[in-house]
Chains A and B, each alone.
Chain A
Amino acid sequence: MATVKYTDEHEWISVDNGVGTVGITDYAQEQLGDVVFVEVPDVGRSVAKGEAIAVVESVKAASDIYAPVSGEVVAANGALADAPGDVNLEPMGKGWFFRIRLADPKELDGLMDQAKYEAFVKSLA
């Protein structure tokens, strides 16, 4: 069973067998509006937690996506090049950005669970 955690930058990471799938939350896609372009990282890249690793462009603005944990990028969602709107349609499904092999699973402890993240989003309203 995958563990899903959230960052205060509105990214989610779903971890299964030491590999985390990363995307942005429904709140983030709602704030961004229609996504028109996503720049995903190269497979094989090593990243540190908090590093800007992807870019999402919407009709309103461009935003960096940060690595929620340290590790190595093992997959990137190339389908977003042709279908950036998937980020709006299914932000936690086919709108995923990249997969990362965790260097240190303990880093997950510093992230929010779903209840905490929902409370965090409510506090932003």
Chain B
Amino acid sequence: MAATTASDTLKRTPLYALHVALGAKIVPFAGYEMPVQYPMGILNEHLHTRSAAGLFDVSHMGQIRLTAKPGRNAAVALERLVPGDIAGLKPGQMRYTQFTNDQGGILDDLMVTSTGDHLLLVVNAACKDADLAHIRRHLSDDVEIEPMFARGLLALQGPAAVDVLAAHAPQVRGMTFMTGSFVMIGGAECYVTRSGYTGCDGFEISTPADACESIARLLLADARAKPIGLGARDSLRLEAGLCLYGHDIDTTTTPVEAGLVWSIGKDRRAKGGFPGDQIIIRQIAGGPPRRRVGLRPEGRTIAREGTEIVDTGGAVLGKVTSGGFGPSLNGPLAMGYVDRAHAATGTKLALWCAAGRCRPRSWPCRSSSTPTGGADLMRTVPLPARQSVASARAMWRPHLEWQFAFPSGQRTPWRQ
């Protein structure tokens, strides 16, 4: 009997052939064969995105369209599942929110855009089937639910993204942050939002499946745009302090613990009406038991996911949920949860660095026979609670304290 290999069950996005042609290293991710890096390498892909433009294939993410049934209101219905202010979205506006469970935990985080006629949802790849079932179970009486999982989704990110895209669709110059619009690109009707997951200015472009590759090629024909893999996507979002579902947030973390209160509508905090509302409202008022914090190790050693965070006496306070090297920061950075008493900015913490625990092996090695336990010092730094952008020319500049500085402009909730 033939063995079933992982690749038998892995799916491919419309850009798979292009990734291979561009020399990508392909890895399994959320059930898809995805490019983790191209020959340029993760460091240079990251820096290129910060200085020019990067094109990401995010077609594995789930796109779902909701349309109100006659006499119903799709936004009001969706608010039964999320704490965000969805009913207040004007046509063309976009918002970040979360599906919560009855304990106030996060089932998934998502972007919601109103087109006026529909709500367009973008959910995480690994959660999309569960999200679809969740929506069907709760909202079928109110909305038509249309999964659009075959569509392409491209992210064009970086300070040059607007110039690269405007060469084909000049009207995107007029779009403001966290808004969406139907746009023709290369003869195909796309839905474009000015948003992203990198801390840079940029766009996400929802394309018909059969137009995805030609649009990607069109954008990559511009020398300023380079293909960027999942590796740099991760380091970019980590520097921006943005949560990765399944790591920094999951069913056991509430939006309050995760520092996402900014994404909860004012009216919704007062009235509730979403799963886990009592717990979440109580945590907003009285403080959560633990908080997500940014962490800056003082040396060069990288604090990776799962590393325990301890106080100076060695007592465990929490653990790192994402950690790595920040190429723009040129140093290690991480985020994780610590109990509330240790969450204040500037708190000195340590990362427990026992051999074989925070230093996972990347190629087959024997395990170390002489564990050399030790604590590397680090301290908490503020997470960017929300990001601000200048209307069109957002520039990314890291501060010493891992803050974000944009020249000026409106402060708008960002995807966290």
A residues at B contact (CB < 8 Å): 9-10, 28, 31-34, 36-37, 39, 50-52, 55, 57-64, 66, 85, 88
Measured CA separation A97–B193 after assembly (Å): 47
Residues of chain A within 8 A of B300, CB atoms compared: 36-37, 39, 57
**B37 within 8 Å of A (CB atoms):** yes
Chain A minimum-CB-distance residue to B356: A64
Cβ A62 vs Cβ B324 within 8 A: no
Identify which of residues 287-308 in chain B touch chain A, using a CB-to-CB cut-off of 8 Å: 300-302, 304
Chain B minimum-CB-distance residue to A38: B300
Cβ B231 vs Cβ A60 within 8 A: yes
- The smallest C-beta distance from B365 to any residue of chain A, in angstroms, reads 6
Cβ B362 vs Cβ A32 within 8 A: yes
Give chain B's interface secondary structure class: loop
Of B324, B358, B366, which one neighbours A59 at CB under 8 angstroms? B324
Residues of chain B within 8 A of A31, CB atoms compared: 362-363
- The smallest C-beta distance from A67 to any residue of chain B, in angstroms, reads 12
Size bracket, chain B contacts = 20 to 34
- The smallest C-beta distance from B333 to any residue of chain A, in angstroms, reads 12
Knowing A37-B301, A52-B355, A57-B302 are in contact, say whether A64-B368 is a contact too (CB < 8 A).
yes
Cβ A63 vs Cβ B361 within 8 A: yes
Residues of chain A within 8 A of B324, CB atoms compared: 59
Of B41, B44, B359, which one neighbours A64 at CB under 8 angstroms? B359
Knowing A37-B325, A51-B370 are in contact, say whether A58-B362 is a contact too (CB < 8 A).
yes
Q: A9-B365, A32-B362, A66-B365 are in contact. List 19 more A-B contacts (CB 8 A).
A: A10-B363, A28-B363, A33-B41, A33-B42, A33-B231, A34-B42, A36-B325, A36-B327, A37-B302, A39-B300, A39-B301, A52-B368, A55-B301, A55-B359, A59-B327, A61-B362, A62-B302, A63-B362, A64-B365
Identify which of residues 177-213 in chain B touch chain A, using a CB-to-CB cut-off of 8 Å: none
- The smallest C-beta distance from A11 to any residue of chain B, in angstroms, reads 10
Residue of A39, A50, A59 contacting most chain B CB atoms (<10 Å): A59
Measured CA separation A92–B360 after assembly (Å): 24
Knowing A36-B325, A52-B370 are in contact, say whether A63-B365 is a contact too (CB < 8 A).
yes
- The smallest C-beta distance from B27 to any residue of chain A, in angstroms, reads 11
A-B interface, 6 closest residue pairs, ranked by CB to CB distance from nearest: A61-B362, A62-B359, A34-B43, A37-B300, A36-B325, A59-B42
**B235 within 8 Å of A (CB atoms):** yes
Residue of B235, B365, B372 contacting most chain A CB atoms (<10 Å): B365
- The smallest C-beta distance from B220 to any residue of chain A, in angstroms, reads 22
Measured CA separation A34–B235 after assembly (Å): 13
Cβ A63 vs Cβ B359 within 8 A: yes
Measured CA separation A55–B368 after assembly (Å): 12
Cβ A62 vs Cβ B358 within 8 A: yes
What are 10 A-B contacts with C-beta separation under 8 Å?
Answer: A33-B231, A37-B325, A39-B300, A55-B359, A57-B325, A59-B43, A59-B327, A60-B42, A61-B360, A63-B359
